[in-house]
Each structure stands twice: as C-alpha cells, then as structure tokens.
Structure 1
Amino acid sequence: MITLMSAVLVAALLALAGPALESMFNQAMDTVGS
C-alpha cells in the first residue's frame, strides 16, 4: 500500500512539475541562443 501511495505521489509530482521544468528549460535555451 505504501509503495502504491509513493508511486501515485511521484506521478503527481511529475505531472505538476513537468510543464514548469519544460518552460524553465526553454527559457534557458532562449537565453543561451540569443
């Protein structure tokens, strides 16, 4: 049960943090590219 809860928690964190990390990465790439 704890394993399942941990897996759900990690999946939720990835779902929430994914777009933010991607936008930050794109911003950094734009800064380096210009």
Structure 2
Amino acid sequence: MKILLASASPRRKELIAGLGLPYEIVKINVDEIFD
C-alpha cells in the first residue's frame, strides 16, 4: 500500500516517513481559503 500525501508540509512528510510505509507526495492546486 502506498500513501499519497497531498501536502507540502515538512512535518507531515516526517511523520509519514516515520511510519516506514511507502508514500508519495502529490502536488495539488487547491485554494484552501474559504469565506
């Protein structure tokens, strides 16, 4: 199983890497600002 990490957060990357599971960082272009 591969985890898709849709976040550029270095901390999240570190946490996922610490699990020892395969993962891939995917870049998404989503505006996260809501009015």
The interval holding the TM-score normalised by the smaller chain is 0.3 to 0.5
TM, length-normalised to structure 1: 0.32
Higher RCO (C-alpha 8 Å, min separation 6):
2
Bigger helix share: 1
Larger Rg: 1
Bigger strand share: 2
TM, length-normalised to structure 2: 0.32
